[in-house]
Amino acid sequence: MCVGDSMTIGSAGDFTWRYRMWQHLNAVCPGPFRIVGPRHTLHDPAAGAPTSSAYGDPDFPQDARRHLAGWGEGWLHMAPLIGDAVRAHAADTLLVSLGLIDLGFYTNAEQTAENVRHFVAGARAAAPRIRAVLMPVIPNVRAVADPDFGAQCARFNELLAKEVADLSAPGSPLLLASVPAGWEIDRATYDGTHPSALGEHLLAGAFADAMHQAWGVGGPYAG
């Protein structure tokens, strides 16, 4: 289950990193897999709502479009939802990219880290052996332009690394993904925040490589 904010749900016309991950898993997984979640649409800027099905590849299968992501949603919003989503859709692995929205509009670094703990607890209450890869807040234009916000992003990433180390357990492992190598804001995004085609590949690759290196899932990301 892919969990995230606007960078994960994507906007009308996007391929999304979720699509790149699906392509990767199709190429490297020796057995069947399912992508699950309660949602399947993209954000529609004209409607200001998650009502678009206009993926960059119209042949992206409906079932593989499943996710738990929302434009403007963060750890604060997903923590109360994750338990029911995991339970209803039998998720066993979470790929999570959250935090920028929280820090930008709702909570400071310490409060956001507290919501990470609530999120993990909710997921484990639904599936005690669930595993997850968590992405730090990646470089973005606001963090560059606003030093205070940039400091909050850096502080949260420190706290997230600590939470992953503290909360990971043998039966329910947590991984901290690496900020994608080569993430240059002017190339990896189309507006300073949301991923371009290159950024989609970099995000999918960071998740894929973490799963492969730690758990032997699939293979190295080839893009």
193 vs 71: CA distance, rounded Å: 12
Residue 220 lies in a domain: no
Q: Which residues of 122-149 are buried (b: 16+ CB within 10 A; e: fewer)?
A: bbbebbeebbbbbbbbbbbeebeeeeeb
Residue 211 lies in a domain: yes
Residue 48 lies in a domain: yes
pLDDT at 31: 85
Residue 129 lies in a domain: yes
Residue 221 lies in a domain: no
pLDDT at 160: 98
Residues 6+ apart with CB under 8 A from 3: 37, 67, 68, 69, 78, 82, 94, 95, 96, 97, 98
List C-alpha distances in Å: 99 to 1, 11, 123, 175, 209.
Answer: 17, 18, 17, 16, 21
Q: Please, what is the average pLDDT of the chain?
A: 97
For the chain, give the percent of residues with pLDDT over 70.
100
Range of the domain at 38: 2-215
Residue 203 lies in a domain: yes
Residue type, 214: A
Residue 223 lies in a domain: no
Phi, psi of 175 (to 5 degrees): -120, 145
Indicate the pLDDT class of residue 72, thresholds 50, 70 and 90: very high
**Each residue's pLDDT tens digit, 109-160:** 999 999 999 999 999 999 999 999 999 999 999 999 999 999 999 999 999 9
pLDDT at 216: 94
* Surface-to-core class of residue 189, CB atoms within 10 Å of its CB (0-12 exposed, 13-18 middle, 19+ buried): buried
Residue 127 lies in a domain: yes
pLDDT at 39: 98
Asked whether the predicted pLDDT for residue 223 surpasses 90, the reply is: no
Q: For residue 43, which of 5, 89, 100 has the smallest C-alpha distance?
A: 5
Structural domains of the chain, count:
1
pLDDT at 45: 97
In this structure, the strands spanning 174-176 and 131-135 are parallel
Asked whether the predicted pLDDT for residue 174 surpasses 90, the reply is: yes
Q: What is the CATH number of the domain that holds 19?
A: 3.40.50.1110
**Each residue's pLDDT tens digit, 12-69:** 999 999 999 999 999 998 888 999 999 999 999 999 999 999 999 999 999 999 999 9
